């Protein structure tokens, strides 16, 4: 479906000193810096996958998405969508893709939402029957029909994102790119957005590629994560695999009746506050049941709970590498 | 083709949303038109003919020049500048249309709206307050229309070429202003170049600008013979070809260098 081979993107930026003197100097001298935003990314995405691109700010996620959707031309490497190179044949290949940027809208500020959709219907040459089909599906998921007569400039962010999602799906693309789609949305808007992504993925087999900083998005949506930092791929796999690989431990939280907490040779006590002690242990070494059994033989236990390595831990570890 | 026609239609709807802009533009054009009309009246003061043109014809020249300036409003430079600055060029590029095809269609749409919103009122105001601008020889009408179409295209291509700079230099506002005033000054839209010193006039007639305003206006007021007009239209056409070639050449290079700002 999508093949990315040795993708690189360099930016040349003008070096500017600080302050007024720096700005003036930059007018006459030509000091440039090359920034390697994306370095040698290669991966393959199959039809119907939901892939999450994650990484800290400035990691190169958006640049990668922009190259994959034909907006930026790669410095090196190629992106093939259905076997076709997007930089060589942009006008044709983009018919198969939809793009939503959470931070900028493709809707037309001066028009009503329905008028923007009509324009897109003509641009993509969608026939009226397909268009109405899609609209009724979208109405079921997002309740879009009540917004059609509203001018885009009067919409709330949540409504606008809904509009953008529908706009990107009108031509039933095979691949949908979402760049931080949930940014700034409230809980219920996030919920309907996630429902929308799951729905189009299962019903229409749309391949979805999204970048996000929202842990909920990752947990609920992504079959597969690609973690990028400094333009380099750090991890690629599903959440469980990555967790097992980089954070193969759990934390056992034990509450005793007093402040005295015993140690255990196979796990590390990572904190001890009041009556509560936390033990971290490797999943492959020992089971939680064994630790509880051996601890309770030493001291009476009031309560226990087990914490998996959370997704934020994983991300922290992966970003830190 | 159909999709571009629809872009034209949508742009007309869009242009009709902002009524206030329209009144502002009418007011500005009216002021320019009336001051230049009085200016020429004062300059002619008693002299019947200057530079082969009567005072009466000069008034017509001014009114038609104002009306023509509506047709020669282009949005493409600001459109590119704005979309690069705000990063919305990204969403433009994910559509299966040619970028400049879309910009062209948008400009056509705006102009169709402006013909009704601006050109007709300006012609009416001019007719009432100055004189009715009748054409010198109605048989020249086809020639006039063709030369206006060509001048529109030349003007648009120059604007598009300036707009393309925004793809790499990001902020092109200053350049757009320079271009706008250069065209106004050098195209004969306010002062026909036959009033310029001979040397300057010679230089100007080898540049594309006078073929934007002065040529169609000369045809309209009947300055010069038909043979002269046809010869000048050949030069106009030549400029159209040169600018189109330049446009295509730069266009292919520039879209690979698109910068997307932010996020």
Domain membership flag for residue A72:
yes
Tokens 């295209």 -> residue: B153
B226 touches chain A (CB under 8 A): no
Same domain assignment for residues A204 and A161: yes
Domain membership flag for residue A37:
no
Bigger pLDDT: B127 or B52? B127
Work out the pLDDT band at A33, boundaries 50, 70, 90: confident
From CA A158, how far away is CA A142, in angstroms rounded? 11
> Above pLDDT 70, what percent of chain A?
99
What is the pLDDT at residue B261?
Answer: 54
Residue B6 has pLDDT above 60, yes or no: yes
At B186, which helix (H) or strand (E)?
helix B173-186
B174 touches chain A (CB under 8 A): no
Q: What is the ipTM of this complex?
A: 0.79
A110 touches chain B (CB under 8 A): yes
Domain membership flag for residue A12:
no
DSSP at A237: E
Tokens 């958006």 -> residue: A62
Domain membership flag for residue A306:
yes
Same domain assignment for residues A51 and A158: yes
Under a CB-based contact definition with an 8 Å cutoff, are residues A61 and A228 in contact?
yes
Work out the pLDDT band at B61, boundaries 50, 70, 90: very high
Same domain assignment for residues A255 and A311: yes
Optimal mutation site among B2, B91, B168, interface A, most CBs of chain A within 10 A: B91
- Residue after which a domain boundary falls, among A215, A237, A259: A237
Under a CB-based contact definition with an 8 Å cutoff, are residues A91 and A125 in contact?
no
Residue A251 pairs with which residues in a beta bridge? Answer: A280, A307
Work out the pLDDT band at B170, boundaries 50, 70, 90: low
Same domain assignment for residues A170 and A286: no
Same domain assignment for residues A89 and A203: yes
A95 touches chain B (CB under 8 A): yes
A115 touches chain B (CB under 8 A): yes
Domain membership flag for residue A263:
yes
User: Number of Cβ pairs closer than 8 Å across A and B?
Assistant: 81
Contacts of B262 in chain A (CB under 8 A): 103
Number of domains comprising chain A = 2
CA distance B263 to chain A (A): 7
Same domain assignment for residues A53 and A176: yes
> What is the average pLDDT score of chain B?
87
Bigger pLDDT: B119 or B253? B119
What is the pLDDT at residue A176?
Answer: 94
Q: Which two tokens stand for residue B108?
A: 């056509």
Same domain assignment for residues A170 and A224: yes
Same domain assignment for residues A154 and A223: yes
B46: Cα separation from own chain's centroid: 33
From CA A52, how far away is CA A177, in angstroms rounded? 10
Task: Sort strands A175-179 and A207-211 into parallel, antiparallel or unpaired.
Answer: parallel
Contacts of B14 in chain A (CB under 8 A): 108, 110-111
- What b/e sequence results for B16-39 when a residue is b if at least 16 CB atoms lie within 10 Å of its CB, and e otherwise? eeeeeebeebbeebbebbbebbee
Same domain assignment for residues A255 and A210: no
> What is the average pLDDT score of chain A?
86
> Above pLDDT 90, what percent of chain B?
41
Q: What is the CATH number of the domain that holds A61?
A: 3.40.50.300
Question: Could you report the per-residue pLDDT of A109-121, keeping only the tens digit for each?
Answer: 888 999 999 999 9
Question: Could you report the per-residue pLDDT of A209-233, keeping only the tens digit for each?
Answer: 999 888 888 888 888 999 888 888 8
Domain membership flag for residue A88:
yes
Residue B263 has pLDDT above 50, yes or no: no
Cβ pair B90:A95 closer than 8 A: no
Domain membership flag for residue A286:
yes
- Residue after which a domain boundary falls, among A237, A266, A295: A237
Residue A144 has pLDDT above 50, yes or no: yes
Contacts of B91 in chain A (CB under 8 A): 99, 101, 104-106
At A50, which helix (H) or strand (E)?
strand A50-54
Mean pLDDT of A16-43: 79
Contacts of B263 in chain A (CB under 8 A): 62, 101, 103-104, 179-180
The answer to pTM > 0.90 is no
Bigger pLDDT: A15 or A122? A122
- Residue after which a domain boundary falls, among A237, A266, A288: A237
Same domain assignment for residues A209 and A62: yes
Same domain assignment for residues A69 and A197: yes
Residue B224 has pLDDT above 90, yes or no: no
Mean pLDDT of A276-291: 86
Which segments within B97-250 are labelled E, that is strand?
A: none
From CA A19, how far away is CA A315, in angstroms rounded? 37
Could you list the residue range(s) of the whole structural domain that residue A255 is in?
248-320
Q: What is the CATH number of the domain that holds A270?
A: 3.30.70.250
Helices (H) and strands (E) in chain B, counts: 12, 2
Domain membership flag for residue A273:
yes
Q: Which two tokens stand for residue B169?
A: 């230099």
Q: Which two tokens stand for residue B252?
A: 């292919």
Contacts of B6 in chain A (CB under 8 A): 118-119, 122-123
Same domain assignment for residues A216 and A261: no
Question: Could you report the per-residue pLDDT of A164-195, keeping only the tens digit for each?
Answer: 999 999 998 999 999 888 888 888 888 888 99
């Amino acid at each position: 479906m999508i093949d990315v081979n040795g993708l690189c993107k360099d930016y040349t930026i003008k070096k500017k000193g600080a302050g007024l003197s720096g700005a003036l100097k930059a007018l006459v001298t030509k000091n440039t810096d090359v920034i390697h935003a994306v370095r040698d990314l290669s991966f393959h995405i199959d039809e119907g996958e939901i892939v999450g691109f994650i990484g800290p700010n400035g990691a190169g996620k958006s640049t990668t998405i922009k190259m994959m959707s034909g907006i930026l031309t790669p410095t090196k490497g190629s992106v093939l969508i259905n076997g076709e190179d997007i930089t060589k044949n942009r006008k044709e290949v983009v018919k198969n893709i939809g793009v939503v940027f959470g931070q900028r809208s493709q809707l037309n500020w001066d028009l009503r939402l329905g008028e923007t959709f009509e324009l897109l219907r003509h641009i993509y040459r969608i026939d009226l029957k397909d268009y109405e089909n899609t609209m009724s599906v979208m109405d079921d998921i997002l309740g879009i029909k009540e917004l059609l007569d509203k001018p885009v400039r009067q919409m709330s962010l949540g409504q606008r994102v809904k509009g953008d999602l529908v706009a990107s799906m009108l031509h039933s693309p095979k691949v949908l790119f979402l760049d931080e789609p949930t940014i700034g949305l409230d809980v219920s808007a996030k919920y309907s957005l996630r429902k929308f992504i799951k729905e189009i993925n299962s019903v229409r087999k749309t391949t979805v590629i999204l970048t996000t900083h929202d842990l909920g998005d990752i947990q609920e949506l992504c079959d597969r994560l690609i973690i990028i930092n400094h333009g380099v791929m750090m991890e690629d796999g599903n959440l469980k695999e990555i967790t097992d690989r980089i954070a193969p431990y759990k934390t056992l939280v034990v509450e005793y009746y007093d402040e005295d907490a015993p140690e255990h040779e196979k796990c590390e006590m990572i904190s001890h506050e009041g009556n509560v002690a936390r033990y971290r242990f490797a999943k492959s070494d020992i089971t939680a049941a064994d630790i509880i059994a051996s601890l309770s033989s030493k001291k009476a236990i009031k309560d226990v709970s087990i914490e998996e390595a959370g997704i934020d831990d994983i991300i922290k570890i992966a970003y830190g590498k | 083709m159909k999709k571009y026609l629809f872009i034209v239609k949508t742009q007309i709807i869009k242009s009709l949303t902002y009524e206030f802009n329209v009144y502002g533009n009418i007011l500005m054009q009216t002021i320019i038109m009336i001051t230049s009309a009085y200016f020429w009246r004062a300059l002619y003061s008693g002299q019947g003919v200057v530079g082969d043109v009567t005072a009466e014809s000069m008034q017509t020249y001014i009114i038609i020049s104002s009306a023509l300036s509506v047709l020669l409003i282009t949005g493409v430079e600001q459109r590119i500048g704005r979309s690069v600055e705000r990063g919305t060029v990204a969403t433009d590029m994910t559509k299966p249309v040619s970028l400049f095809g879309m910009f062209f269609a948008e400009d056509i749409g705006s102009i169709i709206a402006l013909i009704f919103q601006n050109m007709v009122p300006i012609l009416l105001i001019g007719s009432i307050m100055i004189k009715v601008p009748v054409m010198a020889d109605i048989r020249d009408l086809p020639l006039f229309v063709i030369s206006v179409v060509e001048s529109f295209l030349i003007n648009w291509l120059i604007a598009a070429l300036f707009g393309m700079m925004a793809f790499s230099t990001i902020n092109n506002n200053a350049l757009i202003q320079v271009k706008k005033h250069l065209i106004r000054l050098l195209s004969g839209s306010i002062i026909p170049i036959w009033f310029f010193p001979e040397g300057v006039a010679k230089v100007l007639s080898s540049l594309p600008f006078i073929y934007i305003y002065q040529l169609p206006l000369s045809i309209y007021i009947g300055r010069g013979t038909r043979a002269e007009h046809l010869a000048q239209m050949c030069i106009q056409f030549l400029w159209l070809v040169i600018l189109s070639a330049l446009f295509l050449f730069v266009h292919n290079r520039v879209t690979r260098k698109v910068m997307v700002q932010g996020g």
